A and B are shown apart, each in its own frame.
Chain A
Amino acid sequence: MLKFFRKRKLLELNIKLPLNEKRKRAKILVIDDEETFPVELLTNEGYNIRHWKKIESLRSLEDGEFDIIFLDIFDVAKDISNDDGLGILEHLKKYNPSQIIIAYSGRSFDLSKTKFWKLADDTLAKPSDLVTCKEVIDKMLEDRFNLQYYWNNLTFVLKENSVDGKTISKIEDSLVKVLSKGEKISIHEILPVALRTTELIAKIAPLANTIIKLASGNSL
């Protein structure tokens, strides 16, 4: 009887998107001043992918608009950061640590740029053929573009901001409730009033939005 009334946890929703669906749903951005990435071919294969020659909007990167970012190291953000691509990588990782960033450069011989490669979630040599690009994207989608990754990171951020376990459970319940109903919600609605600070919302909004994106349109 008790089991019947037990609330479902987020990861019990059993949302497993097939790879093809993930390819469509995940927004991928390539930031590279050159045109070596096979963007067109990948678009033809069903990926949702865009190319910027340099940072067009730092704000949209901070807001987590893109699920996977391929980032070059040189000549992509000179006007924003003295450290160019590395500066952007450091900024985004500080602002939104769960943002998936793949270092994409042909300068992995450069000993002075080790930090760029170590800080990134993964690396892809530039240039790489279509098959390799697909493999790197698909494996990232399979491994990380899922509820578990984003929920784990969301709880991590909440704990880091001294949110207690009970409150986290409440947030999870609210999330499960709205996702089960298939309702459209904003991050404010799942956060208790006391936690609705601009800083915390900015940190968790990209994670919560991705969770909602992953769950939307699925029969739960």
Chain B
Amino acid sequence: MINRDILQSISPFPFITQDRKLYDGFLIKQPQYCRRQCTSRDCISSDVIREKHYVCSKGFSCYAITHNDESFYFNGLIVTKLNKTIKSGKRKVYSQNVTNEEDVIAFISKLHELKISILQVISSSINNSISFLHDVKTSLGLVMNSAQNIFQDAQGETFDEKVENADENVRHLFYAVDLLNDQLQFVDVVANPDRISYGRKRRTAIYKLFHKMVRLFQQRAVRRNIDIKLRGHSLKEIYANESIQFLPLILLDNAVKYSLDGREIIVEINDSEDGVSVKVSSYGPIVQSDECEKIFDKHFRGKNASSFSSQGIGLGLFIAQKIAQAHNFNICYHGISNETKTKVPIGKNDFFFTIPINETDDFPLAK
């Protein structure tokens, strides 16, 4: 909620971010010493107690705070009574940076209040705008149950077998309901990215997740004569949160959306030494080389992708990368352009990653 831009506009005190960028406060500026002479930047420290006064090696008072997993450090201050380290000469030169502890603590406390207020506004705004989805989900749940009941009389031992043996139209209807459900759940992640880490890390078969999603997308792909193929061999299970199920959804949705009609989408999953390796390859507009770094940024849409399809708001890959990072890996992209004479450069797009096994967080009490 509180990021560096917000902090910059409301902070009376100077501060520095983890990536060593210095910001002035609207009352107290960064000392010239911090801007020009200091190279150590040891005001940035993970060892200090949050929101408590400490002194950097150059004698300035600092306070570390954390908001939204990002650390900020009020620096370049001289807090009366608490800072007895700074030399008298420096204290004189930087007399404008002298402040008292009460003011700093009061501001930090106001930041907490602001964070709560922002959270309430966002929360109520989200609730007002998408809470109707809850009713949609309830109705969908009833449809899903009815659809599942239909399969009870079909042949087969397991539910999966019964679905496979059922009438094709009924089967496709069920898959469509299932896909719609997954897409509705994904809206929750977009509204509340914290949802990525909800739940325990449970054993998950990545191959099964992709297998299910390939099945759900097959019907949509067939209409455009796109063939989705699932290849490879994977038996390993990794520990993952429930949110890992959205990776296949996002990657296949993108692959189908940006694939040329009549081409193949290949999903390859194999066990590797470190975990489970996945590659999703499709044939469509490639990402320009200067955009490769940005495709995982929030709301970023590549130029070629935008020209190819007006659908999409640049959130899928952003969320996918967040999910990946929550499971200790990164999604990589590689594109090879084959057809440059077309209006939009076309080629093979590969999204690939290796999901590490990760560790269980079970036995929460008796560790």
Interface positions of A (Cβ within 8 A of B): 34-36, 38, 40-41, 44-45, 97-98, 103, 106-112, 114, 117-118, 120-131, 134, 136, 139-140, 143-144, 148-149, 152-153, 155-156
Using Cβ atoms and an 8 Å threshold, which residues of chain B touch A111?
119, 122-123, 126, 191-192, 194
Interchain CA distance A114-B185 in the complex, whole Å: 16
Instruction: Using known A-B contacts A36-B142, A122-B200, A126-B137, determine if residue A41 contacts B149 with beta carbons closer than 8 Å.
Output: yes
Determine the residue in chain A with the shortest Cβ distance to B192: A109
Instruction: Using known A-B contacts A111-B122, A129-B144, determine if residue A152 contacts B194 with beta carbons closer than 8 Å.
Output: no
Using Cβ atoms and an 8 Å threshold, which residues of chain A touch B274?
none
Q: Which of B120, B142, B145, B188 has the most CB of A within 10 A?
A: B145
B126 and A117 within 8 A (CB): no
B362 and A144 within 8 A (CB): yes
Using Cβ atoms and an 8 Å threshold, which residues of chain A touch B140?
127
A153 and B188 within 8 A (CB): no
List 15 A-B pairs, Cβ < 8 Å. Answer: A36-B137, A41-B149, A44-B152, A97-B365, A106-B133, A106-B134, A109-B126, A112-B120, A118-B198, A121-B200, A122-B199, A122-B200, A127-B144, A139-B203, A143-B203
Interchain CA distance A144-B119 in the complex, whole Å: 35
Interchain CA distance A136-B245 in the complex, whole Å: 13
Other 4 A-B pairs with CB < 8 A, given A114-B194, A123-B199, A131-B159: A35-B145, A106-B138, A109-B188, A122-B242
B192 and A41 within 8 A (CB): no
Question: B242 is contacted by which of A38, A44, A109, A124 (Cβ under 8 Å)?
Answer: A124
* Distance (whole angstroms) from the CB of B95 to the closest CB of chain A: 44
Interchain CA distance A74-B208 in the complex, whole Å: 32
Using Cβ atoms and an 8 Å threshold, which residues of chain A touch B127?
109-110
Using Cβ atoms and an 8 Å threshold, which residues of chain A touch B159?
41, 45, 130-131, 134
Question: B195 is contacted by which of A44, A109, A130, A143 (Cβ under 8 Å)?
Answer: A109
Instruction: Using known A-B contacts A122-B200, A122-B202, A127-B137, determine if residue A110 contacts B126 with beta carbons closer than 8 Å.
Output: yes
Interchain CA distance A108-B126 in the complex, whole Å: 11
Q: Is B292's beta carbon under 8 Å from chain A? A: no
Using Cβ atoms and an 8 Å threshold, which residues of chain A touch B126?
109-111
* Distance (whole angstroms) from the CB of A34 to the closest CB of chain B: 5
Fill in one digit per residue for B92-120: 1 if any A CB lies within 8 Å of its CB, else 0. Answer: 00000000000000000000000000011
Q: Is B366's beta carbon under 8 Å from chain A? A: yes
Using Cβ atoms and an 8 Å threshold, which residues of chain A touch B133?
106, 109
Question: A38 is contacted by which of B119, B148, B195 (Cβ under 8 Å)?
Answer: B148
B187 and A35 within 8 A (CB): no
Question: A127 is contacted by which of B141, B199, B212, B366 (Cβ under 8 Å)?
Answer: B141
A41 and B365 within 8 A (CB): no
Using Cβ atoms and an 8 Å threshold, which residues of chain B touch A121?
200, 364
Using Cβ atoms and an 8 Å threshold, which residues of chain B touch A123?
198-199, 242
Determine the residue in chain B with the shortest Cβ distance to A160: B365
Determine the residue in chain A with the shortest Cβ distance to B135: A106
* Distance (whole angstroms) from the CB of B367 to the closest CB of chain A: 9
* Distance (whole angstroms) from the CB of B209 to the closest CB of chain A: 10
Using Cβ atoms and an 8 Å threshold, which residues of chain B touch A140?
202
Interchain CA distance A126-B135 in the complex, whole Å: 11
Using Cβ atoms and an 8 Å threshold, which residues of chain B touch A143?
202-203, 360, 362
Instruction: Using known A-B contacts A122-B202, A139-B203, determine if residue A110 contacts B141 with beta carbons closer than 8 Å.
Output: no
Q: Is B27's beta carbon under 8 Å from chain A? A: no
Q: Is B160's beta carbon under 8 Å from chain A? A: yes
Determine the residue in chain A with the shortest Cβ distance to B191: A109
Determine the residue in chain A with the shortest Cβ distance to B202: A139
Question: B134 is contacted by which of A45, A107, A120, A149 (Cβ under 8 Å)?
Answer: A107
Determine the residue in chain A with the shortest Cβ distance to B119: A111
Interchain CA distance A111-B194 in the complex, whole Å: 8
B188 and A126 within 8 A (CB): no
A156 and B148 within 8 A (CB): no
* Distance (whole angstroms) from the CB of B133 to the closest CB of chain A: 8
Interchain CA distance A116-B23 in the complex, whole Å: 37
B195 and A155 within 8 A (CB): no
* Distance (whole angstroms) from the CB of B176 to the closest CB of chain A: 12
B365 and A152 within 8 A (CB): yes
Question: B148 is contacted by which of A108, A114, A130, A155 (Cβ under 8 Å)?
Answer: A130
Q: Is B10's beta carbon under 8 Å from chain A? A: no
Determine the residue in chain B with the shortest Cβ distance to A136: B202
Interchain CA distance A45-B187 in the complex, whole Å: 31
Q: Is B178's beta carbon under 8 Å from chain A? A: yes
* Distance (whole angstroms) from the CB of A13 to the closest CB of chain B: 18
Q: Is B218's beta carbon under 8 Å from chain A? A: no
Using Cβ atoms and an 8 Å threshold, which residues of chain A touch B149?
40-41
Interchain CA distance A93-B173 in the complex, whole Å: 40
Closest 6 CB pairs of A and B: A127-B141, A36-B141, A152-B366, A123-B199, A109-B191, A106-B137
